[in-house]
Amino acid sequence: MSKYNMPAIFLLGPTASGKTDLSLYIAQRFPVEIVSIDSAMVYQDLNIGSCKPTKAQLSKYKHHLVDIIPPNVNFSLGIFLDFLDRSIHEIKSIGKIPFFVGGSMMFHNILINGFHDFPSCKETRRKLEKKYEQKGLNKLQTELAAVDQALFNKIDIHNPRRLIRALEIIYITGEKLSSLKQQPKIQLFDNKTVHLAAVNDKKTILTERSNKRLNEILQNGLLQEIEHLIKKFHLTKQHQSMQAINYKQFLPHIIEDISFDDCFYNANKATNLLIKSQQTWLKKIDIDTHLECSDTKIKHKLSATIETYLRRHSI
């Protein structure tokens, strides 16, 4: 039994595939409310670099999970689930259905396939974070390999947040996380009744679109936005919000005098790697409706499939 016993529509896709434009088109035609599945848009004042909808668009079309925390606070699964719960109850109370839109595949996966509710402990986490700061990533990697080799071989061991969270769970429970992951998951939605649409395209097309978008982001004032964020929130490159693409790559230009050209190259490279990762994720998901962002009839096709889905659920 899923926690949220209701229909839901998902629009997944790599960065620069046109999800925002499509979502606004759908929001004005169907009884849906957009729930952003984007780990950068959750932050207040991260507007330009995250390609957040404009204030006018946000005012006209309700967006959930946007601007929910300041950029000096770490975003977590707990925060995501808390705000998600509030949004789902609000959407359900007005007789609409959630329309999940974004490129954060990990959170889409949680919504579609469920998650394990593992415990947390602030003191244990702080100790691990301090260990990381003092002894580096290699220390955490060595510890994880010693206590859970199976998990070490499976997760991204170059991601400090993943390592810290894994070790936190292991030390709290006294069990291997690889074994705990075999337990049943908490299901949020029934993946047999939701509708999954994905907008994708050839890597070359997405790369071209992302390069064009990066130039637009810079013209719209990304560097000035980063300077504002640093001043207002006293941000450094250690803050989680500044690990978001575009912010991570251009922050060094402002605080470390790294050349603009190097930062531009790094941002393009990071975006291309993200696109590749997102496309890999999509291959693992059973998509109902496949769309190509270069298709001139894409809006019509998405509208038609949503109309059919809603009719089937009598909405």
The owner of tokens 């049943």 is: 184
Give me the pLDDT at residue 1, please.
Answer: 79
Cα-only R_g, the chain: 20
Give me the pLDDT at residue 161, please.
Answer: 87
Q: Which of 150, 153, 142, 144 is nearest to 179 (CA)?
A: 150
Alpha carbons 257 and 190: distance in angstroms, whole number: 50
Q: From first to last of its 315 residues, what are the pLDDT tens digits of the chain?
A: 789 999 999 999 999 999 999 999 999 999 999 999 999 999 999 999 999 999 999 999 999 999 999 999 999 999 999 999 999 999 999 999 999 999 999 999 999 999 999 999 999 999 999 999 999 999 999 999 999 999 999 999 999 989 999 999 999 999 999 999 999 999 999 988 999 999 999 999 999 999 999 999 999 999 999 999 999 999 999 899 999 999 999 999 999 989 999 999 999 999 999 999 999 999 999 999 999 999 999 999 999 999 999 999 876
Give me the pLDDT at residue 314, please.
Answer: 75
Write out the two tokens for 87: 């949004």
Instruction: Please report the DSSP string for 154-174 in residue order.
Output: TS-TT-HHHHHHHHHHHHHHS
Give me the pLDDT at residue 251, please.
Answer: 97
Give me the pLDDT at residue 308, please.
Answer: 96
pTM: 0.90
Give me the pLDDT at residue 173, please.
Answer: 96
Residue 26's CB is within 10 A of a number of other CB atoms, namely: 21
- Residue 54 has φ and ψ, to the nearest 5°, of -65, 165
Give me the pLDDT at residue 17, please.
Answer: 97
The 3 state secondary structure assigned to 89-132 is HHHHHCCCEEEEEECCHHHHHHHHHCECCCCCCHHHHHHHHHHH
Give me the pLDDT at residue 200, please.
Answer: 97
Alpha carbons 290 and 306: distance in angstroms, whole number: 12
Instruction: Give me the sign of the Cα torsion angle 122, 128, 134, 136.
Output: negative
Q: Where are the alpha helices (DSSP H) in the chain?
A: 19-27, 55-60, 77-93, 105-113, 122-135, 137-147, 149-152, 160-173, 177-180, 203-219, 222-233, 247-255, 260-283, 298-312
Write out the two tokens for 150: 């199976």
Give me the pLDDT at residue 313, please.
Answer: 85
The owner of tokens 């954060």 is: 104
CB proximity list for 200: less than 8 A, separation 6 or greater? 13, 14, 17, 206, 279, 282, 290, 291, 292, 293
Q: Which of 6, 152, 36 is nearest to 100 (CA)?
A: 36
Alpha carbons 270 and 268: distance in angstroms, whole number: 6
